[in-house]
Structure 1
Protein backbone atom coordinates (compact mmCIF):
# COMPACT_ATOMS: atom_id res chain seq x y z
CA UNK A 1 0.00 0.00 0.00
CA UNK A 2 1.42 3.37 -1.01
CA UNK A 3 0.27 6.32 1.11
CA UNK A 4 0.60 10.04 0.44
CA UNK A 5 0.68 12.33 3.46
CA UNK A 6 0.02 16.05 3.05
CA UNK A 7 0.61 19.02 5.34
CA UNK A 8 -1.20 21.90 3.59
CA UNK A 9 -0.03 25.48 3.88
CA UNK A 10 -0.32 28.43 1.54
CA UNK A 11 3.38 29.26 1.82
CA UNK A 12 4.78 25.71 1.70
CA UNK A 13 2.81 22.47 1.49
CA UNK A 14 4.69 19.39 2.60
CA UNK A 15 4.21 15.96 1.08
CA UNK A 16 5.53 12.51 1.92
CA UNK A 17 5.06 9.13 0.27
CA UNK A 18 5.58 5.86 2.12
CA UNK A 19 4.97 2.18 1.47
CA UNK A 20 3.20 0.17 4.17
CA UNK A 21 3.47 -3.62 4.03
CA UNK A 22 1.79 -4.91 7.14
CA UNK A 23 3.61 -3.19 9.99
CA UNK A 24 6.70 -2.49 7.86
CA UNK A 25 7.10 1.06 6.60
CA UNK A 26 9.50 2.35 3.99
CA UNK A 27 10.18 5.80 2.63
CA UNK A 28 9.54 6.46 -1.05
CA UNK A 29 9.83 10.25 -1.40
CA UNK A 30 9.12 13.56 0.29
CA UNK A 31 9.23 17.21 -0.60
CA UNK A 32 7.71 20.64 -0.33
CA UNK A 33 5.67 22.78 -2.71
CA UNK A 34 6.47 26.42 -2.02
CA UNK A 35 4.48 29.33 -3.41
CA UNK A 36 5.58 32.88 -4.16
CA UNK A 37 4.22 35.16 -1.43
CA UNK A 38 4.06 38.03 -3.96
CA UNK A 39 1.87 36.09 -6.42
CA UNK A 40 -1.91 36.56 -6.50
CA UNK A 41 -3.91 34.11 -4.40
CA UNK A 42 -5.39 32.30 -7.40
CA UNK A 43 -1.90 31.62 -8.80
CA UNK A 44 -0.62 30.35 -5.48
CA UNK A 45 -3.59 27.99 -5.13
CA UNK A 46 -3.19 26.80 -8.73
CA UNK A 47 0.51 26.14 -8.06
CA UNK A 48 -0.36 24.01 -5.02
CA UNK A 49 -3.00 22.12 -7.00
CA UNK A 50 -0.59 21.42 -9.86
CA UNK A 51 2.19 20.40 -7.49
CA UNK A 52 0.06 17.92 -5.57
CA UNK A 53 -1.36 16.54 -8.81
CA UNK A 54 2.19 15.99 -10.11
CA UNK A 55 3.17 14.14 -6.91
CA UNK A 56 0.10 11.90 -7.19
CA UNK A 57 0.79 11.17 -10.85
CA UNK A 58 4.47 10.41 -10.16
CA UNK A 59 3.95 8.08 -7.18
CA UNK A 60 0.43 6.67 -7.75
CA UNK A 61 -0.54 6.33 -4.08
CA UNK A 62 -3.42 4.05 -3.08
CA UNK A 63 -4.72 6.52 -0.52
CA UNK A 64 -3.91 9.83 1.06
CA UNK A 65 -4.08 11.60 4.37
CA UNK A 66 -4.10 15.28 5.19
CA UNK A 67 -3.64 17.20 8.39
CA UNK A 68 -6.86 18.84 9.55
CA UNK A 69 -7.08 22.61 9.63
CA UNK A 70 -6.60 24.22 12.99
CA UNK A 71 -7.99 27.59 13.97
CA UNK A 72 -5.35 30.30 14.40
CA UNK A 73 -5.81 33.37 16.54
CA UNK A 74 -5.68 35.36 13.31
CA UNK A 75 -8.83 34.72 11.20
CA UNK A 76 -7.02 35.75 7.98
CA UNK A 77 -4.37 33.09 8.56
CA UNK A 78 -7.04 30.47 9.16
CA UNK A 79 -8.81 31.45 5.95
CA UNK A 80 -5.60 31.24 3.90
CA UNK A 81 -4.80 27.85 5.39
CA UNK A 82 -8.31 26.63 4.57
CA UNK A 83 -7.96 27.82 0.97
CA UNK A 84 -4.64 26.01 0.59
CA UNK A 85 -6.16 22.88 2.11
CA UNK A 86 -9.08 23.10 -0.32
CA UNK A 87 -6.69 23.31 -3.26
CA UNK A 88 -4.76 20.26 -2.01
CA UNK A 89 -7.96 18.27 -1.43
CA UNK A 90 -9.28 19.26 -4.87
CA UNK A 91 -6.08 17.89 -6.43
CA UNK A 92 -6.62 14.59 -4.60
CA UNK A 93 -10.26 14.50 -5.67
CA UNK A 94 -9.33 15.25 -9.28
CA UNK A 95 -6.99 12.24 -9.22
CA UNK A 96 -9.65 10.10 -7.49
CA UNK A 97 -7.39 9.58 -4.49
CA UNK A 98 -9.35 8.73 -1.33
CA UNK A 99 -8.23 10.91 1.58
CA UNK A 100 -8.67 10.77 5.34
CA UNK A 101 -8.08 13.71 7.66
CA UNK A 102 -6.13 13.58 10.92
CA UNK A 103 -5.68 16.18 13.64
CA UNK A 104 -2.17 17.37 14.44
CA UNK A 105 -2.67 16.06 17.96
CA UNK A 106 -3.52 12.55 16.70
CA UNK A 107 -0.48 12.56 14.39
CA UNK A 108 1.86 13.52 17.23
CA UNK A 109 0.30 10.92 19.52
CA UNK A 110 0.56 8.21 16.85
CA UNK A 111 4.28 8.85 16.34
CA UNK A 112 5.59 9.96 19.72
CA UNK A 113 2.94 8.79 22.19
CA UNK A 114 1.77 12.23 23.25
CA UNK A 115 -0.37 14.76 21.42
CA UNK A 116 1.75 17.56 22.87
CA UNK A 117 5.00 16.39 21.23
CA UNK A 118 7.41 18.98 19.85
CA UNK A 119 8.43 19.03 16.18
CA UNK A 120 11.93 17.82 17.09
CA UNK A 121 10.46 14.74 18.80
CA UNK A 122 8.33 13.94 15.73
CA UNK A 123 11.34 14.30 13.42
CA UNK A 124 13.46 12.08 15.66
CA UNK A 125 10.79 9.37 15.54
CA UNK A 126 10.61 9.68 11.76
CA UNK A 127 14.31 8.83 11.58
CA UNK A 128 13.66 5.75 13.72
CA UNK A 129 10.66 4.58 11.68
CA UNK A 130 12.19 5.42 8.28
CA UNK A 131 15.93 4.71 8.66
CA UNK A 132 18.14 6.69 6.32
CA UNK A 133 15.41 9.13 5.34
CA UNK A 134 16.55 12.56 4.17
CA UNK A 135 13.77 14.99 5.01
CA UNK A 136 13.24 17.93 2.64
CA UNK A 137 12.15 20.28 5.44
CA UNK A 138 9.81 20.63 8.40
CA UNK A 139 6.66 20.66 6.22
CA UNK A 140 7.78 17.45 4.50
CA UNK A 141 8.47 15.91 7.94
CA UNK A 142 4.94 16.76 9.05
CA UNK A 143 3.56 15.19 5.87
CA UNK A 144 5.54 11.97 6.43
CA UNK A 145 4.15 11.86 9.97
CA UNK A 146 0.61 12.17 8.57
CA UNK A 147 1.30 9.31 6.13
CA UNK A 148 2.62 7.08 8.93
CA UNK A 149 -0.43 7.86 11.05
CA UNK A 150 -2.66 6.83 8.14
CA UNK A 151 -0.69 3.59 7.71
CA UNK A 152 -1.04 2.79 11.42
CA UNK A 153 -4.80 3.37 11.36
CA UNK A 154 -5.19 0.66 8.73
CA UNK A 155 -7.80 0.18 6.01
CA UNK A 156 -10.89 2.31 5.86
Structure 2
Protein backbone atom coordinates (compact mmCIF):
# COMPACT_ATOMS: atom_id res chain seq x y z
CA UNK A 1 0.00 0.00 0.00
CA UNK A 2 1.18 3.52 -0.81
CA UNK A 3 0.44 6.07 1.94
CA UNK A 4 0.61 9.85 1.82
CA UNK A 5 1.48 11.32 5.20
CA UNK A 6 0.93 15.02 5.89
CA UNK A 7 2.01 17.21 8.76
CA UNK A 8 -0.45 20.09 8.30
CA UNK A 9 0.71 23.65 7.97
CA UNK A 10 0.68 26.75 5.82
CA UNK A 11 4.26 28.10 5.96
CA UNK A 12 5.66 24.55 5.87
CA UNK A 13 3.64 21.45 4.99
CA UNK A 14 5.55 18.25 5.59
CA UNK A 15 4.65 15.40 3.24
CA UNK A 16 5.75 11.82 2.80
CA UNK A 17 5.06 8.97 0.47
CA UNK A 18 5.82 5.55 1.93
CA UNK A 19 5.17 2.02 0.79
CA UNK A 20 3.92 -0.39 3.40
CA UNK A 21 4.31 -4.14 2.90
CA UNK A 22 3.43 -6.18 5.96
CA UNK A 23 5.52 -4.79 8.79
CA UNK A 24 8.12 -3.11 6.58
CA UNK A 25 8.17 0.45 5.32
CA UNK A 26 10.01 2.09 2.47
CA UNK A 27 10.29 5.83 1.94
CA UNK A 28 9.48 6.66 -1.67
CA UNK A 29 9.57 10.45 -1.39
CA UNK A 30 9.39 13.11 1.28
CA UNK A 31 9.84 16.83 1.61
CA UNK A 32 7.96 20.00 2.30
CA UNK A 33 5.78 22.51 0.56
CA UNK A 34 6.57 26.06 1.60
CA UNK A 35 4.73 29.33 1.18
CA UNK A 36 5.97 32.83 1.88
CA UNK A 37 4.42 34.82 4.73
CA UNK A 38 4.23 37.96 2.57
CA UNK A 39 1.89 36.27 0.07
CA UNK A 40 -1.87 36.68 0.22
CA UNK A 41 -3.37 33.88 2.29
CA UNK A 42 -5.68 32.56 -0.49
CA UNK A 43 -2.65 32.30 -2.80
CA UNK A 44 -0.78 30.33 -0.15
CA UNK A 45 -3.73 27.93 0.12
CA UNK A 46 -3.77 27.51 -3.66
CA UNK A 47 -0.06 26.64 -3.72
CA UNK A 48 -0.57 24.01 -1.01
CA UNK A 49 -3.60 22.55 -2.80
CA UNK A 50 -1.83 22.44 -6.17
CA UNK A 51 1.34 20.87 -4.77
CA UNK A 52 -0.54 18.18 -2.82
CA UNK A 53 -2.52 17.40 -5.99
CA UNK A 54 0.73 17.01 -7.99
CA UNK A 55 2.17 14.66 -5.37
CA UNK A 56 -0.99 12.52 -5.47
CA UNK A 57 -0.99 12.40 -9.26
CA UNK A 58 2.68 11.39 -9.32
CA UNK A 59 2.60 8.64 -6.67
CA UNK A 60 -1.05 7.50 -6.64
CA UNK A 61 -1.33 6.83 -2.89
CA UNK A 62 -4.40 5.01 -1.61
CA UNK A 63 -4.69 6.61 1.82
CA UNK A 64 -3.94 9.93 3.46
CA UNK A 65 -2.68 9.85 7.04
CA UNK A 66 -2.82 13.28 8.63
CA UNK A 67 -2.00 14.51 12.10
CA UNK A 68 -4.82 16.01 14.13
CA UNK A 69 -4.26 19.64 15.03
CA UNK A 70 -3.49 20.60 18.58
CA UNK A 71 -3.13 24.23 19.63
CA UNK A 72 -3.34 25.68 23.08
CA UNK A 73 -2.13 29.25 22.64
CA UNK A 74 -2.35 31.20 19.40
CA UNK A 75 -5.93 31.07 18.09
CA UNK A 76 -5.12 33.08 14.96
CA UNK A 77 -2.42 30.61 13.97
CA UNK A 78 -4.72 27.68 14.76
CA UNK A 79 -7.40 29.02 12.43
CA UNK A 80 -4.98 29.55 9.55
CA UNK A 81 -3.40 26.12 9.96
CA UNK A 82 -6.90 24.63 10.23
CA UNK A 83 -7.86 26.26 6.94
CA UNK A 84 -4.68 24.92 5.34
CA UNK A 85 -5.38 21.44 6.72
CA UNK A 86 -8.83 21.64 5.14
CA UNK A 87 -7.29 22.42 1.76
CA UNK A 88 -4.82 19.56 2.18
CA UNK A 89 -7.63 17.13 3.00
CA UNK A 90 -9.77 18.49 0.15
CA UNK A 91 -7.00 17.85 -2.38
CA UNK A 92 -6.89 14.23 -1.21
CA UNK A 93 -10.67 13.78 -1.22
CA UNK A 94 -10.84 15.20 -4.74
CA UNK A 95 -8.33 12.56 -5.84
CA UNK A 96 -10.25 9.70 -4.18
CA UNK A 97 -8.00 8.97 -1.21
CA UNK A 98 -9.39 7.58 2.02
CA UNK A 99 -8.61 9.96 4.88
CA UNK A 100 -7.34 8.89 8.32
CA UNK A 101 -6.27 11.08 11.22
CA UNK A 102 -4.08 10.38 14.22
CA UNK A 103 -3.31 12.30 17.38
CA UNK A 104 0.29 13.15 18.26
CA UNK A 105 0.00 10.66 21.14
CA UNK A 106 -1.07 7.85 18.76
CA UNK A 107 1.75 8.66 16.35
CA UNK A 108 4.40 8.63 19.07
CA UNK A 109 3.01 5.40 20.53
CA UNK A 110 3.08 3.73 17.12
CA UNK A 111 6.54 4.90 16.04
CA UNK A 112 8.43 4.88 19.35
CA UNK A 113 6.30 2.67 21.57
CA UNK A 114 5.79 5.49 24.07
CA UNK A 115 3.09 8.13 23.69
CA UNK A 116 5.07 10.81 25.54
CA UNK A 117 8.24 10.39 23.47
CA UNK A 118 10.06 13.58 22.60
CA UNK A 119 10.60 14.87 19.09
CA UNK A 120 14.20 13.57 18.88
CA UNK A 121 13.11 10.03 19.78
CA UNK A 122 10.42 10.08 17.08
CA UNK A 123 12.85 11.43 14.50
CA UNK A 124 15.45 8.79 15.33
CA UNK A 125 12.90 5.97 15.04
CA UNK A 126 11.66 7.36 11.69
CA UNK A 127 15.27 7.23 10.49
CA UNK A 128 15.70 3.66 11.73
CA UNK A 129 12.34 2.30 10.51
CA UNK A 130 12.85 3.73 7.02
CA UNK A 131 16.58 2.92 6.88
CA UNK A 132 17.50 6.54 6.15
CA UNK A 133 21.04 7.89 6.35
CA UNK A 134 19.97 10.92 8.35
CA UNK A 135 16.98 12.41 10.12
CA UNK A 136 14.80 14.23 7.59
CA UNK A 137 14.69 18.00 7.93
CA UNK A 138 12.84 20.18 8.66
CA UNK A 139 10.93 18.63 11.57
CA UNK A 140 7.68 18.84 9.58
CA UNK A 141 9.03 16.25 7.12
CA UNK A 142 9.98 13.80 9.87
CA UNK A 143 6.50 14.32 11.35
CA UNK A 144 4.87 13.54 7.99
CA UNK A 145 6.90 10.33 7.75
CA UNK A 146 5.92 9.43 11.32
CA UNK A 147 2.19 9.83 10.66
CA UNK A 148 2.49 7.68 7.51
CA UNK A 149 4.34 4.98 9.49
CA UNK A 150 1.66 5.18 12.17
CA UNK A 151 -1.03 4.56 9.56
CA UNK A 152 0.93 1.69 8.03
CA UNK A 153 1.20 0.12 11.47
CA UNK A 154 -2.56 0.52 12.01
CA UNK A 155 -3.87 -0.91 8.74
CA UNK A 156 -5.69 -3.79 10.45
CA UNK A 157 -7.62 -1.25 12.48
CA UNK A 158 -7.67 1.63 10.04
CA UNK A 159 -11.44 2.07 10.02
CA UNK A 160 -11.13 3.20 13.64
CA UNK A 161 -9.06 6.16 12.46
CA UNK A 162 -11.13 7.20 9.45
CA UNK A 163 -11.79 10.94 9.52
CA UNK A 164 -15.35 11.58 10.62
TM-score (norm 1): 0.95
Q: Distance in 2 between matches of 1:54 and 1:103?
A: 26
Paired with 1:69 and 1:62, the residues of 2 have a C-alpha distance of 22
Secondary structure (helix, strand or coil) at the match of 1:73 reads: coil
Match in the other structure for 1:139: 140
SS in 1 for 2:73: coil
In structure 2, the residue matched to 1:37 is 37
Displacement of 1:136 in angstroms is: 4.3
Report matched runs for 1:77-92 at 5 Å. Answer: 77-92=77-92
Residues 128 and 44 of structure 1: CA distance in aligned 2, closer, same or farther (over 3 Å): same
Q: Relative to 1, partners in 2 of residues 1:106 and 1:31: Cα closer, same or farther, differing over 3 Å?
A: same
Deviation at 1:72, TM superposition (A): 2.9
Which residue of the partner structure matches residue 162 of structure 2?
A: none
SS state of the match for residue 10, structure 1?
A: coil
Segment of structure 1 superposing worse, 92-101 or 130-139:
130-139
- Superposition RMSD in Å: 1.2
Aligned to 1:51: 51
SS in 2 for 1:140: helix
1:74-108 deviation per Cα after TM superposition (whole angstroms, max 9, x unaligned) = 11111011011001001101111111000111101
Number of residue pairs matched? 156
Structure 2: runs of 5 or more not aligned = 160-164
Larger CA deviation: 87-96 vs 124-133: 124-133
Match in the other structure for 1:20: 20
What CA distance in whole angstroms lies between the structure 1 residues aligned with 2:109 and 2:132? 23
